[in-house]
Amino acid sequence: MVILGIESSCDETAASIVRDGREILSSVIASQIGLHRPFGGVVPELASREHLLKIEPIVFQACAEANVSLNDVDAVAVTQGPGLIGSLLVGVCYAKALAFGLDIPFIGVNHIEGHVYSVAFENPTVEYPALALIVSGGHTNLFYIPEAGKYKVVSRTRDDAAGEAFDKVAKMLGLGYPGGPVIENLAKEGDPKKVKFTLPKISDGRPDFSFSGLKTAVVRHIRENSIEPVADGAQPSQEIKDLAASFQATVVKSLVGTMKKLAIEMSPKTLIVAGGVACNGALRSAAEAAGTDLGLPVYFPSKHLATDNAAMIAAAGYAHLIRGSQSDLTMTADITMRLQNFENEDAELKRKRVRYRL
């Protein structure tokens, strides 16, 4: 079965042709980083206008690279939400019109579920139950997945997503946008123990994430040590490299520590780490070490599939379709779309549930 996936939730216009949910025939992504870099972040109106310009050429390019025509496509899967409303509507409306014109099934996909399925292409088949850490610029969540297609949020961020925190700290230091890659590169030359940051703690004991306090601690350190942002064209000081390394180490410790504690509690058979921040080498190394300690496999997407792409949307759409689920043409974009459809926990899991403090 050949699925056309379309992704336009934020600032990438992407299309992909995927066969049977596991074989990528083509994956085309038009990034808008250059467009938004001068503003230090994504400008929603500019993003949606760029999607309008790019979506049809990107879809045609994906078909050409896969050596298929639109008549060979069996279904269209598109990101329904969450995301920026203008960006989402471009993809949803285009996909809906295409499916109607071709008279083929149409599937709306949760963007976060797409990240879960981003590990489908270069890893063994996921064994369930699984525990998935989805971490990006807009999302930081842990999902318990008892079986394919069922999700329960077991940990979420109370404020900033991890990727958002990387971007904000990079902006404070004058390092540019996006912040994740530049902080990771600087951290390789820094001392992660140089600046002592406290791990975020949640007062009610839930195993949630919080990065706002860490961001405030970075602001305080910059002010107290009179650290100046990096000027255009200048080389970052060792002090900034040490700060970047210490900040990154604290974020990684929070993410992996929480995942590991919940894995001990919930006894999954597979760990998944996905989303844009899953490109981060320090996070990958720490997650792999945690998996080794727990005796569990850890599945990552390759780096080009970790950031927003349409192959993961096609894979998730295929999974919906083979379960007999598809959308009708009244479906529209949903910026608050949630990925939680499994509320019941078995008695043993309830009995083992404990309160954690990081």
2-118+305-322 and 126-300 in the same fold: yes
Instruction: Please give the pLDDT value at position 343.
Output: 62
Ordered per-residue pLDDT tens for the chain, 358 residues = 999 999 999 999 999 999 999 999 999 999 998 899 888 889 999 999 999 999 999 999 999 999 999 999 999 999 999 999 999 999 999 999 999 999 999 999 999 999 999 999 999 999 999 999 999 888 899 999 999 999 999 999 999 899 999 999 999 999 988 899 999 999 999 999 999 998 877 877 788 999 999 999 999 999 999 999 998 878 999 999 999 999 999 999 999 999 999 999 999 999 999 999 999 999 999 999 999 999 999 999 998 999 999 999 999 999 999 999 999 999 999 999 988 876 654 444 444 443 333 2
What is the domain partition of the chain in residue ranges?
A: 2-118+305-322, 126-300
State the architecture of 2-118+305-322 in CATH terms: 2-Layer Sandwich (3.30)
Spatial contact of 150 and 172, defined as CB atoms under 8 Å apart: no
Instruction: Please give the pLDDT value at position 58.
Output: 98
Instruction: Please give the pLDDT value at position 178.
Output: 87
Q: Which residue has the tokens 């530049």?
A: 182
pTM more than 0.85: yes
Tell me whether strands 130-135 and 106-110 are parallel, antiparallel or unpaired.
unpaired
Instruction: Please give the pLDDT value at position 54.
Output: 96
238 phi and psi angles, rounded to 5 deg: -65, -35
The CATH fold of domain 126-300: Nucleotidyltransferase; domain 5 (3.30.420)
Instruction: Please give the pLDDT value at position 206.
Output: 86
Q: Could you tell me the end-to-end alpha-carbon distance of the chain, in angstroms, rounded to an integer?
A: 45
The tokens for 122 are 């270069």
User: Among 1, 2, 83, 160, which Cα is nearest to 92's?
Assistant: 83
Q: Which residue has the tokens 């970075």?
A: 218
Instruction: Please give the pLDDT value at position 358.
Output: 28
